[in-house]
Each structure stands twice: as structure tokens, then as C-alpha cells.
Structure 1
């Protein structure tokens, strides 16, 4: 499945290669994710945040006392981040000369429908995590893929979030279009994601020298993995 079939975005302002609207992401704030991550690592742990976007989670992690290196392939996204070292790079080709206590891959990036790209993401995680560190991944609980339907949600700050289309183009795949409206501004983001149950995710982690070590929440959305072998060399 080619990248142009996996991601597509529309709306005012810059749109990233994976279809995300920079101007919309710049309006978002964290919803408890930084505290969840903070509680799972030692105080002051160094963090490599992959796919940091506009810094929605970066800024709170800095305030919680962490050194954060924020990585994103969009310079327009990174321009919104202050106080952290930023690196403009695709996740899959990142090669920094250091390791981190925590490598963080949020926002369901790991669920890309491109299996080769997901493997490259995981190799980047293993390459940059310290031997005594951990990797935290965010995925949708597998059951979500079986039940999700179009919806509309209105938030307290006046924005409208809609899922306007849902289809299942193949086994374990979900194609959906999200629509975000703030006043007169409207953005869409179409994506194709792959359902990652515990067994499949465990196997894919194993192939990159990582091991599934548990979950940070009862819903199993936040996955913790640890080094279990040398970084993948293939």
C-alpha cells in the first residue's frame, strides 16, 4: 500500500506528508498523556519523542523535568516547539549518535498500514533506546477496530470533531476520514491503519530486538517494550 493511499489531508495551512494539518495540531493541548508517561519512567529521564508534532506533549514533559529531543519530519510542526532540542527527520531514517532512557512513539503512528514502514519505526526505537531504558508506544486497543463507527463530538471549546467515513479494505485494516472544524476553518485527515493485537505486536517487536513488557493502562492502549536483543542489523 503506497503512502499516498495511506494518508491524505486537506484544509488551510501546511499539510504534512502523513496528512496532518499543522494549524489544527497547533491548537491542541495534552490530555493526561505527559503524566502517564512521566509516571512510567524515572524522574528526569531523557526522552526521544518521535513524531512530536507541534509539541502538545513535549512542553508538559519539559515542565515535568525531562530532557526531550523532539523529532518530526515537518519543519512547520517543529517551528511551534520551544525549549527542547528539535530534529527534522523522518522517523524511519533517524540515526542520532546517542541513546535515551525512553523512546516515545505516540499518536497511533505505529499502526500505519505500511508494514515495512512500521518495522522501520520499531527499528528506530530499538536503535535509540538505552539498554536499561524502555519504549512506549500508543496504539488503539484492538477491539476498537471491530466496533468503531462514524461519530460527531463537540468539545467544550467549540470545536467539532467528526469521523465521517469508515471502511475495512482488508483483513485487519481500517480506512477512516476525520474532519475537524474550528469556527470557519475545516480540515480533513484520511488514513489507513492496521489492527495490532498483542500477539502481532509482540512478534513485530521481537524481530527488532524489543520485547513487549506490559501496558500502562487497563485499556492496553499504552504499550511498554524493553530491549531484548541487539538492535536490528538487517
Structure 2
């Protein structure tokens, strides 16, 4: 099993051979093992350079909020705690994109940082998988519950950094945000509660 177990998490929810829309795919750290398992993956990212590293999946360069495909998927994935973007409007746009692309009876898999985990967030945290290293290069609480952070991604000889704001959300706030986009928090998929399963309410 891989350190974060994303392929195993997905396999526990999505039928074999199913279709997956992966938002924020990056260089394909999760995409590639999903393709190897036989899933039909569409990988979306804003970085053309990162998408150039993705193999075996259809790729789309776009802002997640702007994606409007004429199809729905067995599962939509929103990883990297993107749901905790600081602005409510941005968060709504991300969740709306998930909701309009998930098939009836399908699943939305969301990675988030539970409120208690923000208290242990610190620079230097990270992981290495093969040629890919992801590290929290810097983090600062700039106001109560609002953090500015920078992630560093190293893939072979290539290095990318991304700065972002992260809002501490309670379970209730997450549930409410999902409901506004027509999704329901079904259950937590991992013991550390960092992966959430949401389903369409309609």
C-alpha cells in the first residue's frame, strides 16, 4: 500500500473500471496508480508543465471552477485540501464543479484537514514517493483559523512551489458547504478523517 493509500481509498468506493474525474492532479502521483488499476481517469490541473508528466489519462488544463464537461463520472476527486481555500466563493466554485460532474449514485472524494490537524501543522512536514517529494515549506497563522502556507513539489529535477490560504473548517462548516452545492457528507473514509465521502442529494 502507498503511504497515503489514495488508490486503496478509491478502490473501496469506486467500482472496478469506473470513471474518475481527478481535480488538481499535479504530476500524476495518484493518477498513475489509478490508471494501473484499470480506472478511466480524466486529470485536471492548471499547470501545463505538471500535466505533461501525466501518463495514461486524458488531461485537461483548466481552473477547477471553470470546468464544464458534457459528461458525468462515477467519482470526482478533490485532493490536496483544496476545499479549504480561504474564500467561500472559491470553495463554492470547487464544490459546484464536483457536484455537476458526479453521476447520480456516484461519489465525491474530498481530502481535507480536520480542525484538530491544523494545530499540528508545521513547516517541514511532507512525504516522498519514488521521484516525487511534497513538503510544507512554510506555514503561518495570519488570523484566527486562517493560515498562509507554501507547498514545495519536487519531481526528479523539477521543482514547483504553490502558496495558498487554508481556512480551518469544523465538521459542521464542511457539511454546510457541501449542502450548498447539493452534496451530503456521507462518512469519513479514513481513521484520521482526512478523506471524506460525499454524495449527491438530488
Name the TM-score class by shorter chain: 0.7 to 0.9
CA 1:179 to 1:57, structure 2 compared with 1: closer, same or farther past 3 Å? closer
Rate the CA distance shift 1:128–1:180 in 2: closer, same or farther, 3 A: closer
2:8 maps to 35
| Aligned partner (choices 104, 113, 132) of residue 105 of structure 2 | 132
Match status 1:99 vs 2:100:
no
Indicate which of 70, 90, 93 corresponds to 2:63.
90
Deviates more, 1:37-46 or 1:145-154: 145-154
Secondary structure of the structure 1 residue equivalent to 2:143: coil
String of CA shifts for 1:176-225, please: whole Å, max 9, x gaps. Answer: 34456799987654322011221001001001100000011011100000
Give TM-score scaled by structure 1 length.
0.75
Q: Which has the larger strand fraction?
A: 2
Indicate if the aligned counterparts of 1:62 and 1:84 stay in contact, CA closer than 8 A. Answer: yes
Gaps of 5+ in 1: 1-28, 230-234
- Give the CA deviation at 1:158: 10
> In 1, Cα distance between the equivalents of 2:92 and 2:200?
15
8 Å contact kept, 2:114–2:171:
no
| Rg comparison, structure with higher value | 1
* CA distances 1:85-132 after superposition (whole Å, capped 9, x unpaired): 111111001000001000011111111112211110000000000111
SS at match of 2:34: helix
Structure 2, unaligned runs of 5 or more: none
Output the CA distance in 1 between the equivalents of 2:132 and 2:39.
Answer: 31
Which deviates more from structure 2 when the two are superposed, residues 161-170 or residues 175-184? 175-184
What does the per-residue CA deviation read over 1:34-57, in whole Å, with 9 as the maximum and x for residues that have no partner?
Answer: 122112221111101111111111
3-state DSSP of counterpart to 2:142: coil
Deviates more, 1:210-219 or 1:175-184: 175-184
Q: Which residue in 2 is equivalent to 1:15?
A: none
